[in-house]
Amino acid sequence: MSSCVKPLMQNKANPVVLLHGFDSSCIEWRYTYPLLEEAGLETWAFDILGWGFSDLEKLPSCDVVSKREHFYQFWKSYIKKLMIFVGPSLDSAVSIDFAINYPEVVEKLVLIDASVYAEGTGNLATLPKAVAYAGVYLLKSIPSACCVLRYVLFSECHW
């Protein structure tokens, strides 16, 4: 149900696992991923359940617990060793939640431009639901996806 970019090589060192921001996908790491691999690091880029290229047709519940457990099952199936967990933006909250619940699998936690709220989303909580849903709809719309794909296809990135 989720997509990921698997490493070209696996080694004994603990891997780097990259999450992405809320309105993005594992493609967010298209420039960083090859550099990490060239440095000899086993690197994974993972789409969190419900975000990125998740299969929305078969999507179960998508709450915090579902995201955590889904990623844990992925970790148990493929990674199976301590990891360096990288969470940017809103996925910082996902990575913190995961590290708190499964400390035995996270060697290091790297937060980039963390968006973590202890008491909800602050002033965004007062946003009318229709506006919030319209924003999410726009981010997941076909024109928005086409803009991203055009950028990805015609940029000078070499995976």
- Label the pairing between strands 83-88 and 16-18: parallel
**CA nearest to 91, candidates 62, 51, 129:** 51
130 in the same domain as 99: no
Q: Are residues 132 and 65 in the same domain?
A: no
Q: Do both 104 and 126 map to the same domain?
A: no
**One domain, residues 59 and 129:** no
Residues 112 and 159 grouped into a single domain: no
Question: Is the same domain home to 83 and 142?
Answer: no
Say how many domains are in the chain. 2
Can you give the pLDDT of all 159 residues of the chain as single tens digits? Answer: 566 677 777 888 899 988 876 667 777 888 888 899 999 999 988 877 766 666 666 666 677 788 888 889 989 999 999 999 888 776 678 888 889 999 999 999 888 877 666 555 566 677 788 887 787 777 677 776 666 666 555 555 444
Q: pLDDT at position 159, please?
A: 47
Question: Residue holding tokens 């990490």?
Answer: 36
The pLDDT value given to residue 59: 62
Phi, psi of 39 (to 5 degrees): -80, 0
Tokens of 61: 């519940």
Same domain, 65 and 25: yes
State whether 105 and 138 are in the same domain: no
Domain hosting residue 16, numbered range:
4-116
Query: Which stretches within the chain are classed as H helix?
Result: 32-38, 64-74, 91-101, 129-139, 142-154
In this structure, the answer to whether residues 28 and 61 fall within a common structural domain is yes
Q: Return the pLDDT at 93.
A: 80
Q: Are residues 58 and 13 in the same domain?
A: yes
